[in-house]
Structure 1
Amino acid sequence: MSLSDEERQRLDKLGHQLEEDDPRLAKSLSGKGVLVFGHRIGTGALMALAGALLLLAGIAGNSLLLAMVGVIAFAGGLLVSGTDWFRGHVHHGPQH
């Protein structure tokens, strides 16, 4: 389901208000990950971490469904991280 033009305009307006009110929060909430103790953790890494935790919780609780969701989230996170790394290093060269 796609957003209507009015909904997109509202989201853009909210995004601009957030950037004006709290630029640091807006930057940390951008699609590039989260700042933790001054280090940026990418979205893929967070997804892989959440997947690993779900996998462990599924194993500990004997929940096959939870463990399977954890494996899928972990694999997806690794895929996103690998894709981000590939884009940053192969197309633009290593960034020092």
Structure 2
Amino acid sequence: MSTAHLPAYVLLLVALGAAPAVASPSPDPTASPGVRPDWAWPLSPKPAVLRGFDPPDKPWLSGHRGVDLQAVDDGVTVAAPPTAPCASWASWWIVR
């Protein structure tokens, strides 16, 4: 690489790095009726939480790390497509 072209390469990299931030603003879920937020309850109507998250005393011990939801008869179950994540995770996953 020639040092004569270095300023042009740096300018190109800076322009390409800034382009996605300018070209793709985050969507506003309230902007249009029918647009859903990124997260929604998997059951409709909104389910009652039968048993909430119960963390263990230490992160490596067993515990109830999910929630139990009460579905109603004739309710709607929303399933995510296989390419979409079904659960959010914010910590380490340990496989024994």
Shorter-normalised TM range: under 0.3
So what's the TM-score if we normalise by structure 2?
A: 0.26
Structure ranking higher in helix proportion: 1
So what's the TM-score if we normalise by structure 1?
A: 0.26
